[in-house]
Amino acid sequence: MRAEVQDWYSSRSFQGSVFDRQDLTARKQGQRVSVVLPAKNEAATIGAIVTALRTELMEEVPLLDEIIVIDSNSTDDTSTVAAAAGATIAHQDQILPDTGCIPGKGEALWKSLAVASGDIIVFIDADLQGFNAQFAVGLLGPLLTDPQVHFVKSYYDRPLDDGVKVMPAGGGRVTELVARPLLNLFWPELAGVVQPLAGEYAGRRSLLECIPFVSGYGVEIGMLIDVLETVGLDGMAQVDLGERRHRNSTDGELARMALQIQLTVQARLHRRGLAPAAPHTVELTQFLRDGENYIGDTTAIGVSERPPMLEVGHHWSTTGEWV
């Protein structure tokens, strides 16, 4: 790593466990904190996550002010389970309907800015297994203790469940095979970020409203690059949250995710004049064995992007109204 990255890694990497929820609550100083859970068909896990956050970080200590589940066109009873656990539910396509509807995780996160009222917003995936509320405490730690920090990523061990057994490591396959090589090649300042695609991260609204949101799975790598360009490395931090287990996608699903990430990187490189414009969509053909043959299956993969929320002309007023 470059010296500046090594310095950042040493000074801006924290153990999530060192942050105390009572102490952080006292440090809010009137700031509101929202947790946002983007959820597509997460009925199996969303209830335990919301319950842990609500009981430990709203009822026992008022660290969180709201828990919002963005139902991202679920076809299971995600919303019912999440509401029963105490979350506020917002349906992705019903938020800012005048801006239209785009499928994808990044869209859910972008639209959450119009629903969440927090000065600080914590994003947590809704497929986490064995969730620990300290995840949110750790992510809030650097933001509530250092005004120079505007954005915090999580990192952790990532076991891999292949459906037969759980290996202690091996998760984060797109991170290791696609995102990390690309970031080290084109954004070496980010070489110290341990989990660049981590789905758990937090930021100040004042930053999140100033950057675009890639609509699909490119949201994390796009956001990391945009945050670096907006607040610089010194405005960023990362926290070790121990271990993160989640539903591991199939290789085929991750290949489609990887192409979204590569298209997002190309779009960022194009913005810097280093690459031709990324195609709006790419036909990705993948193959599956079918008896003596292989069957080709083609999917149109594309990444669209939402502009900074501030440019959409909506914001939270000082009286706490979305105007």
Ligand X SMILES: O=C(O)[C@@H](COP(=O)(O)O)O[C@H]1O[C@H](CO)[C@@H](O)[C@H](O)[C@H]1O
Ligand Y SMILES: O=c1ccn([C@@H]2O[C@H](COP(=O)(O)OP(=O)(O)O)[C@@H](O)[C@H]2O)c(=O)[nH]1
Q: Using the rule CB under 6 A, which residue among 21, 34, 38, 121 binds ligand Y? A: 38
Considering beta carbons, is residue 1 or 177 the nearer one to ligand Y? Answer: 177
Asked whether position 249 contacts ligand Y by CB under 6 A, the answer is: yes
Point out which span in 103-111, 144-152, 286-294, 307-315 binds ligand Y (CB under 6 A).
103-111
Asked whether position 105 contacts ligand Y by CB under 6 A, the answer is: yes
Element (H, E) at 220: helix 219-231
Asked whether position 256 contacts ligand Y by CB under 6 A, the answer is: no
Query: Distances from the Cα of 166 to the Cαs of 155, 247, 248, in angstroms?
Result: 19, 11, 10
Point out which span in 241-249, 264-272, 281-289, 308-316 binds ligand Y (CB under 6 A).
241-249
Distance of CA 113 to the CA centre of its chain: 13
Closest distance between ligand Y and the C-beta of residue 170, in Å? 14
Tally Cβ neighbours within 10 Å of residue 114.
16
Closest distance between ligand X and the C-beta of residue 173, in Å? 4
Closest distance between ligand X and the C-beta of residue 269, in Å? 18
Q: Which residues of 15-37 are buried (b: 16+ CB within 10 A; e: fewer)?
A: ebeebebeebbebbeeebbbbbb
| Chain contacts with ligand X (rule: CB under 6 A) | 105, 125, 158, 171-175, 197, 199, 217, 220, 248-249, 254, 257
Q: Which does residue 40 touch among ligand Y, ligand X, none (CB within 5 to 8 A, set by kind)? A: ligand Y
Asked whether position 35 contacts ligand Y by CB under 6 A, the answer is: no
Question: Of 133, 136, 126, which Cα lies nearest the Cα of 55?
Answer: 133
Calculate Rg over the CA atoms of the chain. 19
226 token code pair: 């945009």
With beta carbons less than 8 A apart as the criterion, state whether 230 and 207 touch.
yes
DSSP 8-state secondary structure symbol assigned to residue 131? -
Considering beta carbons, is residue 25 or 92 the nearer one to ligand X? Answer: 92
Specify the pairing of strand 120-123 against strand 88-91: unpaired
Q: Which does residue 95 touch among ligand Y, ligand X, none (CB within 5 to 8 A, set by kind)? A: none
Closest distance between ligand Y and the C-beta of residue 75, in Å? 12
The Cα 176–Cα 182 span in angstroms is 10
Closest distance between ligand Y and the C-beta of residue 40, in Å? 4
With beta carbons less than 8 A apart as the criterion, state whether 154 and 195 touch.
yes
Considering beta carbons, is residue 218 or 235 the nearer one to ligand Y? Answer: 218
Asked whether position 154 contacts ligand Y by CB under 6 A, the answer is: no
Considering beta carbons, is residue 65 or 125 the nearer one to ligand X? Answer: 125
Question: Of 137, 50, 57, 125, which Cα lies nearest the Cα of 89?
Answer: 50
Considering beta carbons, is residue 201 or 316 the nearer one to ligand X? Answer: 201
With beta carbons less than 8 A apart as the criterion, state whether 241 and 154 touch.
yes
Considering beta carbons, is residue 132 or 175 the nearer one to ligand X? Answer: 175
* DSSP three-state, residue 296: strand
Considering beta carbons, is residue 216 or 316 the nearer one to ligand X? Answer: 216
237: β partners: 152
Closest distance between ligand Y and the C-beta of residue 259, in Å? 13
Size of the site for ligand Y (CB under 6 A): 16
Asked whether position 103 contacts ligand Y by CB under 6 A, the answer is: yes
With beta carbons less than 8 A apart as the criterion, state whether 252 and 27 touch.
no
Considering beta carbons, is residue 153 or 158 the nearer one to ligand X? Answer: 158
Amino acid at 221: I
Residues that bind ligand Y (CB under 6 A): 38-40, 42, 72, 103-105, 108, 125-127, 199, 246-247, 249
